[in-house]
Structure 1
Amino acid sequence: MHLGSYVLSTMAMQALMRGFTSQAIDMAQGAYERVPAADPRVLGFAKLIEARAHARQRDARAAATCLTTAERLQERGTAEGSGERAWIEFFSRQRIVTDATEIFRDLGQPRSTFAWHALGAMPGDAYARSRGIRLSVLATAHAQAGELDHSLRLGGESLRLFARLQSVRGLDYLRLYTDSLARWRREPSVVDYLRDVRGLARQLTTAT
């Protein structure tokens, strides 16, 4: 029962990544409701994915409620522990921090994004893709806060990492970031950055 709920949550995550937010919410809710006695960490992961999907729909109240529930369940699950389910051990406080930065980026709340980022360490060089993702999230938040120069510095570092990794998933994050630059689309520095992102997109298209 635990694993079935987890699998449904991962399916919800995949739906979310493809832009099917309503389906993601339905699946995440199903993962949470179908096995109420599941490992609290499994249930917490379902709520975290639901929070992310609500954030994509700009439903701040629902996202915050689900995030709070995910935090509570993660704490409870960690306290109880279960060596039988090592596959859910990734659902840690750090995972919640990471996803929360994306939740508040999607809600357009940069101060909350920065506050959550401060609660966990920036991924190191050994986790290049995760570092690139976090940089893109922070770049977006700085753009939302009107801080173009700082935003482009972080966005440039993220772009260089994803170009080195040739990461298709990274390109998805860069596209989300470039959306936040719309108000500066005529600025020379933004024009140059958008050109570089398009260049990476062409490289990845050719490679596939």
Structure 2
Amino acid sequence: MAGSAEEDLIQRVLDLLGCLDRAAFLRRVAAWHESLGFGAMATRPEKVSRWKRGVRPDRCTETAMAAMLGVPTDQVRALGWPHWLRVALDADQVLLTAPWTPAGALTALDHLGRPDTMDRRAALFTGGALAATTLANWAAASPATAVLTSGRPRVTDRSAALIDARLTALRQLDDEIGSAETYALARAELSSITTVLRTRSYSEPVARQLFATAAEASRICGWCAFDSGDTAVAERHYMAAARAAASAQDPIVTANLFAFWAMARYSDHDTSGALDYADEALRNARRTGSPRMIAMIHARTARAHAKSGDLRASRRAEAAAFTAYDNAGRPEDEPACVYWVSRAELHSWAANNASDLHDPRRALTHYAAVAAPRDETYDGDAYPRSRALRLSREADVHLSLRDVEVAVHTADQAVRAMGGVTSARGTTVLTDLRTKLRAHQHLPEVREFLDRTV
């Protein structure tokens, strides 16, 4: 609803300041307005009402408000109204204002370790402007250096490698049991890595490897939160991961992070931010030389364009994804984080693009290719969540073509594929499909499916 974000944020700022009414808040802003040399400011209560409805304050009033709340001018410009108000709220401030240094990265990671400070009510102020600011800060960030403090235990190369191996297991565990359970395990892993960074000594190469594992652990947390339907928490983990990745200066971790962040952005209808992150992901992926990673990022770009209705750009990025994948070798010869990328997965994404671009016949062509991919054997049982999502979306395509019997059969396969894997995305897609099927509940097979899947 228009104005709801403004109303919520302004009320939270009033609560933060202890202002019992709008008049008290306006008197405080007016005092800052005058102290900055802007002269007297009107304090009629309807001014706050207009702000809550989405009317932006004039430049002088906004500057006075930012000064009162201690929000830097560059954050006001980058985030825009009303999003910069969140910087004044303790839950979000650290993630935006901490310096882009190893110490700043640790501050952000520590913040995520305190769940009571994480504000789940609002999405982290993202969008094209913040994406550009984040990427500029990332490029100028300070890399990690050695920490050689006497009396502290030393972290060896082997210890850092063992930590990294645990993240490999977490990624695969997410495939098996789903995001809700894996999130708790990833949070614990992230907390452990942060503690090691704060309390141990290590060489510069080990420092960078530890920050890389911290970034990937936070990225896994972000993905799990996103798949569980909690985009606000996902965004916070991605922001902290970006800071850790900047300290690590690791192109694999960076490319993977920004690729997943791009997915969160286009899923939230922010094509500009998604494409900015995908571009940065691709620049880093090319440094890795990994065809699977490059293909995956081209596919993310294609999804962003499809979401915005740009057929030509989506098809171009889609073709680039398949071309890159033609050079892929064995999964074990590429970065561990892209083990799941396959030609079948690319076809599944291409089918989603076709659906978003209102071309159901083309979508079915790609779904058929998933079942018989070229040059590889696709084990759908190893990825039950992906298989369930694909089958649910395929059922939706059949339904759009009025092939109700096939739609029900495919939907039934999706339900069986999901099994005990937790995924809010999978549940949402199936729920939407059930809603559409109710229009056909006069058919026996539809009634039976609806009754069986209550």
Q: TM-score, normalised by structure 1?
A: 0.73
Residue among 344, 347, 361 paired with 1:111: 361
Maintained 8 Å contact 2:345/2:370: no
Greater share of helix residues, 1 or 2?
Answer: 1
Distance 1:156 1:56 in 2: 27
Alignment-derived partner of residue 146 in structure 1 = 402
How many residues align? The count is: 195
Which residue identity lines up with residue 360 of structure 2 in the other structure?
P
What does 1:1-208 correspond to in 2, within 5 Å?
A: 1-33=251-283, 36-39=286-289, 40-76=291-327, 78=328, 83=333, 85-121=335-371, 124-125=380-381, 127-159=383-415, 161-162=417-418, 165=421, 167-175=423-431, 177=433, 181=436, 185=439, 187-188=441-442
Pick which of 18-27 and 157-166 moved more. Answer: 157-166
Maintained 8 Å contact 1:185/1:191: no
* Deviation (angstroms), 1:49: 0.6
Distance 2:272 2:447 in 1: 34
Q: Percent identity?
A: 25
Gaps of 5+ in 2: 1-250, 372-377
3-state DSSP class of the match of 1:118? Answer: helix
Alignment-derived partner of residue 216 in structure 2 = none
Distance verdict in 2 for CA 1:88–1:64, change over 3 Å:
same
Q: Deviations over 1:101-122 (max 9, x none)?
A: 2222222222212211222328
Gaps of 5+ in 1: 200-208
Q: TM-score, normalised by structure 2?
A: 0.37
Pick which of 92-101 and 3-12 moved more. Answer: 92-101
Distance 1:35 1:134 in 2: 26
* Deviation (angstroms), 1:17: 3.9
Distance 1:187 1:22 in 2: 41
Distance 2:337 2:418 in 1: 27
Distance 1:105 1:164 in 2: 27
Maintained 8 Å contact 2:331/2:339: no
Maintained 8 Å contact 2:275/2:304: yes
Distance 2:386 2:309 in 1: 24
Distance 2:262 2:354 in 1: 19
With a CA cutoff of 8 Å and minimum separation of 6, indicate the structure with the bigger relative contact order.
1
Distance verdict in 2 for CA 1:129–1:88, change over 3 Å:
closer
* Deviation (angstroms), 1:29: 2.3
Distance verdict in 2 for CA 1:63–1:194, change over 3 Å:
farther
Distance 1:172 1:123 in 2: 24
Distance 2:397 2:284 in 1: 36
3-state DSSP class of the match of 2:369? Answer: coil
Maintained 8 Å contact 1:108/1:141: no
Distance 1:11 1:73 in 2: 21
Distance 1:64 1:12 in 2: 18
* Deviation (angstroms), 1:136: 0.6
Distance 2:384 2:293 in 1: 27
Q: Deviations over 1:128-183 (max 9, x none)?
A: 3233112112101112222123213322442455475453221232255457x38x
- Pick the structure with greater CA Rg: 2
